[in-house]
Structure 1
Amino acid sequence: MSAVAGTKETPEPGALATPKGLTPETAQTWLKQNGVRQVLAQFVDIHGVAKAKAVPLPHLNAILKDGAGFAGAGFWGSGMKPHHSEYMMRADLGTLGLTPWIPGYASLFGTGLVNDAEHVFDTRNVLAAQVARLAEKGLTLNTGLEPEFMLLRRDETGAIRPFDATDTLEKAAYDYRGLMRARDVLNDLVESLEAVGIDVYQIDHEDANGQYEINFRYADAMTTADQVTYFKMAASEIARAAGAICSFMPKPFARATGNGMHIHFSIADASGRNLFEDTSDPSGLELSEMAYHFLGGVLAHAPALTALLCPTVNSYKRLVVGNDASGTNWAPVFVTYGDNNRTAMVRVPGGRLELRVGDSAMNPYLASAALIAAGLDGIERKLDPGAPHNVNFYELSPAEVAEMGIDVLPQSLAAALRALREDRLFAETLGAGLIDEFTALKQAEWDGYHRHVSDWELNRYLSFF
């Protein structure tokens, strides 16, 4: 298998990175030099799923100036009907990137417009608005997202199995053989990312059979969200070319850990200085007063935030109280924080925060926007997150956790949506129309699931009575 699909040689890291300061004219020249024939004008729907039109290179200027047109009613969460004006994606040349796994193409993100105004249902616009709130204060949210995924296949019976049939260890985390036997797919993916300048610093086999994580360097929240979208696109197609299924489903198997997407984050000033870090912190966590207040906002809005970080019915098969059937649960549901405590909702690795609740089904733009909104509320109201806890919550009973005054996150999508409706912060900051659209779609998803008769029910009840 070639290192990058369709090529004979592996590009050096950064060899295909987009040059700085391109103009429409120099971009055309550079793209031609790299064999690009079509550019993908891209956005994501409310679920975070990539949508695109392929635009022949001679028409690049048109999508930079006017945008590529889409029927808004044709994708989820646009808030648009068939009689409404066109949804236009006006491309931002600063997001231009090659797609090494599909030679002859490049990718562009941008601003979603309706009637030449920024569309308030476009989640990239929603994140841009929250980023602007920070910018007014001279601040930037830096994030590092860690998307976990599984490489799977269908066996001769149609059942879903790990892509590597020998990946069967009961405790598979960091397994050398599991990592090496999937190396062709993983190497193709890493080399595609590195070629365009995304700095991958770690690849590992996660807890579940067939489960992996590829970590790349943190950036500002918008850049990271774009890179996660790009990563998912690359992973899905590179896996498919190898005959594998790349799944970001939160919990594909009942007896295996799920696919999380932990968010590491901190606030920087205009000089790039980390304002969350304070080595004189008397608690020893190396956090500043700003970091504690931001954390206070995250914890205060945790139930509603969960609906946006864990947005599917399946997400809540991963968010369970106590150790789940896999034996270990890396998806903590306890609304608190601790030093290096992976059983708390928020871990403090020192000078930054790690939100451990979210899963790989999240829309990275919407999740990051909600994180800013919650954190800014904490800063503005000087919210106190309380004391840290460094106990193993999975060894405590629900009564013991309650006695500590610690809440538990919603245990179903329905409960999380109820919290999102009741907590008005996100409607006020991200847009009431967007939150109404999100909750309506997700309520319909819950209703459809709730009415479905599962194999578990048939097996348990068919002859029980």
Structure 2
Amino acid sequence: MQTAKAVLKFIQDDGVQYVAFRFTVPRGKWHHITLDASMVDQDTFANGIMFDGSSIAGWKTVNESGMTLMPDPTTAQMIPFPSAPTLMINCDILEPKTGEPYNRDPRGIAKRAEAYLKSTGIADTVYVGAEPEFLVFDSAEFTFDPYNSSFKLTSSELPINAGTHREGGNHGHRIQTKAGYLPVPPLDSGQDMRGMMLAATKAMGVTVEKHHHEVAPARHELSIKYDTLLRSADSIQILKYCLLNVAQSRGKTANVMAEPVFGENGSGMHVHQSLWKDGKPLFAGNEHASLSREALWYIGGIIKHARALNAFTNPTTNSYKRLVPGHEAPVLLAYSGGNRSASCRIPFATSPEATRVEVRFPDSAANPYLAFAAVLMAGLDGILNKIDPGAPMDQDLYELPQGEQQKIQTACGSLREALVSLEKDRAFLKAGGVFDDDFIDSYIKLKMEEVTFQDTASHEV
């Protein structure tokens, strides 16, 4: 379905009862308005749907609250979870008075990033592939008030359940701390669940690749095929939605926080990017790890702007519980042909077409539209200004002598640091009008509220 006409015919012919019009807010969450199918017509696609933008954090004020959802018919997919046949359509946000794209719409920012790439003449396409990791618990209990603050996470996989009494007996098979990478059932209790998550994602039009257990108990990873920046971000939103709902349907709860469990490997979302022009890959060449000079400059831009990027790629206060040395945490701003302790890695490629840059510091809580666009803008700034990334660091960076390690710049250590870095280093994001000061200022204000809340809560506790 590529046109409104095709979508309307599908609704009529396939017995669709409801249509959910979805959009992404600055914090990365999906929201939606659901219309009875009989209310969806050509006018819906021509003029959009009005909603209250003042109820979305970081968007409109109450005195200018009207906003327009403009459906993108190319994104229409059936949702596998509702009991009534329901179609989903992604929407862009428009200003109702002018019909222009709303500057604070994350999906609109991703579109502008792709347009800016073409305008530079460097390339016409950026491909993005992301690998979101997440946790699945049997139960997540938390309390926060002045006299009782606590949380309790439970999963049958956790080593703490080795001595737990269970009806029918405790059969063991617990994954020990840091020992959960790629086991088979019964240690891996999530095999069927992850398969259901990928099946649901595939049913919503995403090309899926694989799933597996990750290093920490109860931690998992799903992989989908790379796509253009906008479509990849759309797909990550679908993937997150499916993993959360499949877990819910099985009586469990999924969690995309970077580090809710102290001392365990965190949940990342490694982001792979490559540039193409006229159907040919630009990152393959004769430099280090078979990279082109443009690819090295691209890495140089990412490393230069990494601390500002953290505000988008690691957008929660919890994100920085993961970005600490050790546990393969990519806090050191360096690049390597295979070293997982570096923030930028060059995966082994079997062909020029597979040559890409893997940015390892993002996590799954990131808004994919903002994170992918910001990384692209940093990389393009690197190419345009021929930013040298320096020498590759192919040894284990955590085994370097202390003095050598201290010479390498690091990712931010807190969300506050990241927001301060973004405040100071934003010019590269504004090239081509992709991001603007209004959005950046509003984003910093929105996320600083979370920092202030955490600081206040920590002080009170």
TM-score by length of 1: 0.86
RMSD: 2.0
Q: CA shift at 1:391, angstroms?
A: 1.2
Paired position in structure 2 for 1:6? none
CA offset digits 1:277-308 (Å, max 9, x no partner) = 12xx143x111111111111111111111111
- Note if 1:108 corresponds to 2:89: yes
Q: Using the alignment, how far apart are the partners of 1:345 and 1:427 within structure 2?
A: 20
Q: CA shift at 1:66, angstroms?
A: 1.4
Q: Using the alignment, how far apart are the partners of 2:220 and 2:319 within structure 1?
A: 18
- Note if 1:366 corresponds to 2:359: no
Paired position in structure 2 for 1:445? 450
Paired position in structure 1 for 2:102? 119
1:109 counterpart SS class:
strand
Q: CA shift at 1:133, angstroms?
A: 0.8
Paired position in structure 1 for 2:272? 264
Which of 131, 137, 153 is 1:146 aligned to?
Answer: 131
Paired position in structure 2 for 1:416? 418
> What is the aligned residue count?
423
Paired position in structure 2 for 1:10? none
Q: CA shift at 1:396, angstroms?
A: 2.6
Which of 42, 51, 54 is 1:73 aligned to?
Answer: 54
Paired position in structure 2 for 1:54? 34
- Note if 1:295 corresponds to 2:299: yes
CA distance 1:178–1:86, shift in 2 (3 Å): farther
Q: Check the 8 A contact 1:167/1:210 in 2, yes or no.
A: no
Which of 159, 162, 170 is 2:155 aligned to?
Answer: 162
Paired position in structure 1 for 2:214? 206
Identity rate, percent: 29
Q: CA shift at 1:427, angstroms?
A: 5.5
Q: CA shift at 1:256, angstroms?
A: 1.4
TM-score by length of 2: 0.87
Which of 428, 432, 447 is 2:430 aligned to?
Answer: 428
Q: Check the 8 A contact 1:28/1:57 in 2, yes or no.
A: no
Paired position in structure 2 for 1:224? 232
Q: Using the alignment, how far apart are the partners of 2:441 and 2:364 within structure 1?
A: 23
Which of 316, 328, 331 is 1:330 aligned to?
Answer: 328
Q: Which has the higher strand share?
A: 2
Which of 190, 193, 198 is 1:190 aligned to?
Answer: 198
Q: Using the alignment, how far apart are the partners of 1:299 and 1:45 within structure 2?
A: 27
CA distance 1:26–1:427, shift in 2 (3 Å): closer
Runs of at least 5 residues in structure 2 that lack an aligned partner in the other structure: 143-150, 159-172, 350-354
Q: Using the alignment, how far apart are the partners of 2:401 and 2:413 within structure 1?
A: 16
Q: CA shift at 1:187, angstroms?
A: 2.1
Q: Using the alignment, how far apart are the partners of 2:203 and 2:193 within structure 1?
A: 15
Q: CA shift at 1:354, angstroms?
A: 0.2
CA distance 1:179–1:140, shift in 2 (3 Å): farther
Q: CA shift at 1:85, angstroms?
A: 4.3
1:124 counterpart SS class:
helix
Which of 246, 249, 254 is 2:262 aligned to?
Answer: 254
Q: Using the alignment, how far apart are the partners of 1:313 and 1:319 within structure 2?
A: 11
Q: Check the 8 A contact 1:299/1:336 in 2, yes or no.
A: yes
Q: Using the alignment, how far apart are the partners of 2:255 and 2:141 within structure 1?
A: 19
Q: Using the alignment, how far apart are the partners of 2:408 and 2:126 within structure 1?
A: 27
Equivalent runs, 1:273-422 vs 2, <5 Å: 273-278=280-285, 281-283=286-288, 285-321=289-325, 323=326, 329-349=327-347, 350=349, 351-402=355-406, 405-422=407-424
Tell me the amino acid that sits aligned with residue 254 of structure 1: F
Q: CA shift at 1:189, angstroms?
A: 1.3
Q: Using the alignment, how far apart are the partners of 1:35 and 1:253 within structure 2?
A: 45
CA distance 1:232–1:155, shift in 2 (3 Å): closer
CA distance 1:380–1:309, shift in 2 (3 Å): same
1:53 counterpart SS class:
strand
